[in-house]
Amino acid sequence: MLKFTIMRVLYVFCILSVILLGNCSNRTGRNDQKTVVTIATLKGPSAMGMIKLIDSLDGVEEPGIKVQIVNEPIQVRKMMLDGKADFAVLPTTMAAITYNKGLEYRLIAIPVWGTLFLFGNDSTITRWEDLRHKKVHVMARGMTPDVLFQYLLEKHGLDPQKDITLDYSFPTHIDLANAVAAGRAELGVISEPLVSLVIQKNKLVRAVFDLNSEWEKIQGSPIAQTALLVRDDIIENDPRLVEAVLNDYEKSSLWVNQNPDSAAVLIARYGILPNTEVALQAIPGSGLYFVRAREIRSKITDYLNVFYNMNPLIIGEKMPDETFYY
């Protein structure tokens, strides 16, 4: 049975706060009656990886820690801006932007690696050259899927502006996935777990290219797609809590990979995916390999450098300095 350490660390912190301060203050600096630490995460692989941790908090009276699951990275960023996220999970490129814009968060781990695929029902495509003069739908101009796909096009001898039509008409990942499933978009850049949702709806669509494998062939390392951040003041004031979150998230992610059937049940139960069938199919391709930032700093830097060279605005106009990493 998995044993998580966050609750124990929070309990010790609260006792010390009562002794030293006369109360148990939370991470935002407000003096409340109890400590409440919030982890803001994304609905998808990020939440899938911590599902065992999420389940361990269910039914605990006043657990002192809350995992808030949201749909879009911009919602996580707003929580950070509003001081409502002590730990935050969001795309690594957006993590660089928040740091470069002065938000006092540091990168502590990469919990999710590449999950992107070129997907569709066009059976004529077997090599990158076959994409010439095709239309490919991508969600959000200038965001990670768009820039990464354009980078791979260029590496395979295709000019994204001349040799292919990039269509941004679908505003969200879900809209694009539904369009591919319904045949309204022949080709689209989408990620797990939406890939598995598309397959369940339409058995004729297929993965044309695994963009993660294509990236690794060129770069020599996988896509450091998603970042786990923590507020600076927590590192300074309670490093034991940081270690507890790192340890428990890592344990949970490992458990999901080792127990996919049980994990799929929990993922469906908590509404991260609609059913266990999709969850079970999505787990292997969701890149759930938790690695601490200090162990892979050079790989993260190499990843961000690709985006910086293509368009510095994508990561906040400059490469993050060394204090970005913990």
pLDDT of residue 1: 61
Domain boundaries, the chain: 6-113+224-324, 116-219
Asked if pLDDT for residue 250 goes beyond 60, the answer is yes
Q: Which CATH superfamily is domain 6-113+224-324 in?
A: Periplasmic binding protein-like II (3.40.190.10)
pLDDT band at 128 (very low <50, low <70, confident <90, very high): very high
Identify residue 154 by its one-letter amino acid code.
E
CA distance 100 to 232: 14
- Cβ atoms of residues 35 and 14 within 8 Å: yes
* pLDDT at 78 exceeding the cut of 80: yes
Angle, helix 144-155 to helix 297-310, in steps of 10 degrees: 80
- Within 13 Å and on the Cβ side, how many CA atoms surround 267? 33
Is residue 23 scored above 60 in pLDDT? no
Using a pLDDT cut of 70, give the percent of the chain over it: 89
The whole-chain average pLDDT of the chain stands at: 90
Rounded CA separation 289/140 (Å) = 26
pTM for the predicted model, two decimal places: 0.89
pLDDT given at position 7: 59
Helices (H) and strands (E) in the chain, counts: 14, 11
Quick: pLDDT tens for 131-169. Answer: 999 999 998 888 889 999 999 999 999 999 999 999 999
pLDDT for position 8: 62
The pLDDT value recorded for residue 142 is: 85
Both structure tokens of 295: 């162990």
Type of residue at 249? Y
pLDDT at 299: 94
More confident call, 63 vs 210 = 210
User: What's the rounded mean pLDDT across residues 211-228?
Assistant: 95
CATH superfamily of domain region 116-219: Periplasmic binding protein-like II (3.40.190.10)
Nearest to 111 by CA among 266, 247, 276: 247
